[in-house]
Amino acid sequence: MTAARVAAVDLGSNSTRLLVADVGDGRIEELERLLRITRLGDGVDRSGTLSDEATGRVERVVGAYVERARELGATRILAVATSAVRDAANGRTFLDALADRQGIDGRILTGDEEAAMTFRGVTSRSAPVPGTLICDIGGGSTELVLGGPEGVAEQTSLNIGCVRMSERHLASDPPTPDEVARLRSASRGALPLLTRDARVLIGVAGTVTTLATIDRELEEEIPEEIDGHQLRANAVERMLGDLAALPLAARREVRGLMPERAPTIVAGAAILAEVLAATSLPGLSVSERDILHGAVLAAAS
């Protein structure tokens, strides 16, 4: 089978990402991957709508991504939208207009579709072992997918993303211990029983890869360096404590932490700490493959 050159854009609540890849026989050869923090989900939990400022940021980034994907010869560009767009009253209008102006395909994923696409992307390189739990902490939601060699066994989408939980619980700078404790309690209460069936935990997306970058003491995220990194539960707890103790200005200076992620990394780390506690596992494996890889497979098919 001849490989198809396609592109996927992930319109996340916190970031907008691009992957251009050659896809054939289920294999993915990456050509270029880009990321910008665009905070599309800012205020959606409170207002129920996407703001003009946020949609303007995203549209400018997507325009640049589409131009780059076409320069590289992508024959199809698929944009997938997740929590912020599906939760917003004007989400469908925004995505339809964006897709029309940019000449691309746009799709709003349900929580279950987001979870399934993430599982497909993460497992595109090798088959998972039984009892594999994939955790994707996004800006608006967290997806948990339990599966194995036969595919997805159970999946759920939870409204406990790092942007949403920051807006709900972390009002102080730095956040107070009580605020962090309430955030952790709310996250813990939202976790489903499927976490108890996990034998292996794989973490994907910005919170996990950022914590792995800090744990590896890297200046910036290097995918090939952190892919497969074993992130221990006690290291997550330590980093959560360290980051929560810093005011935002100091957090922006932390080595390995993108300054744009500083406002939401405490909430993301708290959610991850609670997922690890619920599984009783000593740690997780970091994967650089995620929903973007599932989206390029969908674009190619």
Identify the pLDDT of residue 42.
82
Residue 184 pLDDT class (50, 70, 90 cuts): very high
Task: Identify whether 120 is part of a domain.
Answer: no
- Indicate if 104 and 140 belong to the same structural domain: no
- Indicate if 30 and 156 belong to the same structural domain: no
| pLDDT tens digits along 13-58 | 888 999 999 998 878 999 999 999 898 988 887 888 999 999 999 9
Does 253 score more than 80 pLDDT?
A: yes
Task: Identify whether 207 is part of a domain.
Answer: yes
- Indicate if 193 and 71 belong to the same structural domain: no
- Indicate if 281 and 152 belong to the same structural domain: yes
Please give the Cα distance from 239 to 243 (Å, whole number): 6
Mean pLDDT in the chain?
92
Instruction: Show the tokens assigned to 22.
Output: 């050659």
User: Which CATH number goes with the domain that contains 192?
Assistant: 3.30.420.150
Identify the pLDDT of residue 114.
83
Identify the pLDDT of residue 215.
95
- Indicate if 103 and 133 belong to the same structural domain: no
Among 194, 200, 239, which residue's Cα sits nearest to residue 216? Answer: 239
Q: Write out the residue range of the structural domain in which residue 70 sits.
A: 4-111+295-300
Please give the Cα distance from 33 to 37 (Å, whole number): 14
| pLDDT tens digits along 81-139 | 987 898 899 999 999 999 999 999 999 998 788 888 888 899 888 888 999 999 999 88
Q: Cis ω on the peptide bond leading into residue 149 (within 30° of 0)?
A: no
Cβ contacts of residue 40 below 8 Å, gap of 6+? Answer: 11, 12, 13, 14, 16, 50, 54, 55, 57, 58, 84, 85, 139
Identify the pLDDT of residue 14.
84
Among 23, 84, 4, 2, which residue's Cα sits nearest to residue 292? Answer: 23
Task: Identify whether 197 is part of a domain.
Answer: yes
Q: Going edge to edge, which strands form the sheet with 200-204?
A: 151-158, 142-148, 132-137, 200-204, 283-286, 230-232
- Indicate if 41 and 164 belong to the same structural domain: no
- Indicate if 92 and 189 belong to the same structural domain: no
C-alpha atoms less than 13 angstroms from C-alpha of 108 in its C-beta half-sphere: 16
User: Which CATH number goes with the domain that contains 13?
Assistant: 3.30.420.40
Which DSSP helix (H) or strand (E) runs through 76?
strand 76-81
Percent of the chain scoring above 90 in pLDDT: 69
- Indicate if 157 and 280 belong to the same structural domain: yes
Residue 1 pLDDT class (50, 70, 90 cuts): low
Please give the Cα distance from 195 to 37 (Å, whole number): 29
- Indicate if 181 and 54 belong to the same structural domain: no
For residues 68-82, give the mean pLDDT. Answer: 95
- Indicate if 282 and 160 belong to the same structural domain: yes
Task: Identify whether 119 is part of a domain.
Answer: no
- Indicate if 146 and 280 belong to the same structural domain: yes
Task: Identify whether 121 is part of a domain.
Answer: no
For residues 140-169, give the mean pLDDT. Answer: 89
Lowest-confidence pick of 79-88, 211-220, 226-235: 79-88
Structurally, the chain folds into a number of domains equal to 2
Task: Identify whether 191 is part of a domain.
Answer: yes
Task: Identify whether 46 is part of a domain.
Answer: yes
Among 45, 111, 118, which residue's Cα sits nearest to residue 82? Answer: 111
Instruction: Show the tokens assigned to 186.
Output: 């709310």
- Indicate if 83 and 222 belong to the same structural domain: no
Task: Identify whether 40 is part of a domain.
Answer: yes
Identify the pLDDT of residue 255.
94
Identify the pLDDT of residue 212.
95
pTM: 0.86
